[in-house]
Every structure is written in C-alpha cells, then in structure tokens.
Amino acid sequence: MGGDHGPSIVVPGVAQAAQALPGVRFLLHGDSARIEAELARCPAARAVSEVRHCDKAIAMDEKPAQAMRRGKGSSMWNAIESVRADEAQACVSAGNTGALMAISKLILRMGAELERPAIVANWPNMKGVATVLDVGANVESDADQLVEFAIMGAAFHHAMHGVERPTVGLLNVGSEDQKGHEEVREAHAILREAKLDFDYHGFVEGSDLAYGVVDVVVTDGFTGNVALKTAEGMARFFSNEIRTTLTSGPLAMLGAMIASGALKRMRQRLDPSRVNGAPLLGLNGIVVKSHGGADANGFASAVRVAINLARSDFRAEIDRNLKSLTAAAAKDEASKAGQDQGAVE
C-alpha cells in the first residue's frame, strides 16, 4: 500500500516479475478492494497471488517510532511478519523507509553477531554495477560496523552478480593510509589483516564510484545517502541536458534520429528503475526496499532482487566471514595476553 502509487504500481510490477521468474508466488497485503481491482487488469499477477486484507497502512511521512507503536496489523507489519512466520521467503515494500527499517528490525531481529542493518544500493559504473552500502540506515558507523558492512556487501554482491571473490573498498577522502577519520582508518586496519571470502582493496574516493574500481564500496549511511542522492540528481541533469541539446534545432533532431538506437541504450543504462531494490542487510530475513516513486518496471526489479537473494546462500556466507573474523580477533587477544604475561614474569 506504500510508495507514491500503491497497488496501481505494485500489482503490475508483480505481473512482470511473475512472467520473468516463473514458479514464484506472492502474498499481497493491504486493502483487498483496491488490490483486487488491479488484479482484475493483470491476469499474470492474479494467477500467482493471494490477497491478505488489512485496513491499516503506514503513511509515507509517519515517524518510525510512531509506526512501531501503531503499526501492528498494517500492510507493512503483516508483510514482514509473513517472513518471520516462514509464510514468505522475502518481503518487498515501496513504503516508508524509516518505518520499514524499524519494524523489520523489531520483528525479524538482527542476525547473530551483527549490530546494525545496512541499506544497499546497486550503483551503475563504467564496468557494470557496484554494491554500495550503507546508503541511509545509519547516520554514523564505527569501525566494527563498517567491517560488518564490508562482509554483508561482499556476500550480497556474490549472490546478486555472481562474482566469486568481490573486491571491497572503504570510501574515504583519499587513498593514503593516514587519510580520513579514526573509524575509517581503524576499519581499514582490520580489513587489511583479516582473511575473509573477498579481496580487500583499501581506500577508494568518490570518483572511483563511477570508474568501477571495486565491486563493493563501504561507507556510513550519511555519506552514502548524500552520494546516492547526488548521483541520482546528476543523472537527471545530464539526461535533461542531452534531451534539450538534441531538440534544439533541425540538425540536432536529425542527429538524434540517426543515433536513436545508441541513445535508447544509454537511457536504459541510466534508468534508475533498472537497478531498483535496496535490501536491508543484516536481518534474520530478507526485506527489500523499493523506491517510493518507482514505476511497475522498477518494482519488478526490486522483486527480482528479493527472489535472487532468497535463492542464494548469502546469509550463510555472512555467518562464515563473521565467525572467521571473531576467531581471528580471539586469537589475537590470546596472543597479546600471552605476551603481556611473559613481560610480567
């Protein structure tokens, strides 16, 4: 029921996803009258969907604390609860991001040894698509949390893009070891020494996001969200400038007609809906946030992200790396304790 358009976008998005990924079924939580009206126009969705009626829906401007107090029985709450109850393998919502994060954490809880969830973005670049996190769940993150984000991001990239050993970088103001604030430098030191299922590259800068220097870029939610919104705004700016230039006169319009195929491919490459779907990583369950303004294509993209994650073992990969990190830390502590004991004797 959330997002800018509610069922009028969600149901056609489900229809597209169902046709692209046969064998998947859907539980649609919300106002049954509105949902059924859309299903009547989408036979492909009707054939694979079950409607779960509820009267309540969380408003897009509702504060997370308020949503948690009054959210029980809402469409968002019930959708997340269906994951906890094993009725569904994943939840996709275009609703209120803060409420989705808060309710998901309340119902599903965090995975073992993980402190905070992170929101992931698929980021187009010159080499393909990168994984960037956190892009909004946590305003501040300490070194341990940044390391957790690196582990979660690498597992996500492996699951979604098939890269066996993703390369991971920490977003910083420079590539030198002494650059950046204490939390970033400390996370850098931990990742440089750790033996995990991915390759740690080191620091990356803002320009490296476009170049595709690494597969996974790790940062705190404040920086990541600013970077994401800036990139989205610049993409719209360039698209508008190209459109204005190519319609500025007869010769420009003729050139646009000749290059129409290439321009169409570029438009598709820059289309935000192509990479829509931001998972909330770290939870005991799969929850994917769709952009509130996404169209049916965009919502279908978010559904595909959820399905691909549900069919992968990315959570087991996260657990393996966390255990490896914990074991290494314990070994290091034991070694230091032994050295201290020897110095006392």
Res 272: pLDDT: 54
- Return phi, psi of residue 238, to 5°: -65, -40
Q: How many residues does the chain have?
A: 345
Res 160: pLDDT: 85
| Structure tokens, 298 | 């965009």
| Structure tokens, 330 | 């314990």
Of 215, 211, 194, 191, residue with least CA distance to 202: 191
The CATH code belonging to domain 122-276 is 3.40.718.10
Taking only the tens place, the pLDDT of each residue in 307-343 is 989 988 888 888 888 887 777 666 666 565 566 556 6
Lowest mean pLDDT among 117-131, 142-156, 195-209, 260-274: 260-274
Angle at 42 between CA 38 and CA 45, to 5 degrees: 100
Do domains 1-109+283-312 and 122-276 share one topology? The answer is yes
Mean pLDDT calculated for residue range 157-162:
88
Full-prediction pTM beyond 0.75? Answer: yes
Buried b (16+ CB within 10 A) or exposed e, 66-97: ebbeebeebbbbbbbbbbbeeebebbbbbbbb
Cβ contact 309:287 at 8 Å: no
The CATH code belonging to domain 1-109+283-312 is 3.40.718.10
Question: Which residues face 288 on adjacent strands?
Answer: 92, 279
DSSP string spanning 255-309? HHHHTHHHHHHHHHHH-GGGG--EEEETBSS-EEEPPTT--HHHHHHHHHHHHHH
Res 258: pLDDT: 79
Domain ranges of the chain: 1-109+283-312, 122-276
**Which DSSP state fits 253?**
H
Mean pLDDT calculated for residue range 57-79:
91
The distance from CA 212 to its chain's CA centroid, rounded to whole angstroms, is 18
Which residues lie below 8 Å from residue 148, measured CB to CB, with a gap of 6+? 114, 115, 116, 118, 282, 322
In the block, which residue shows the tokens 């400390």? 186
| Structure tokens, 223 | 């920086």
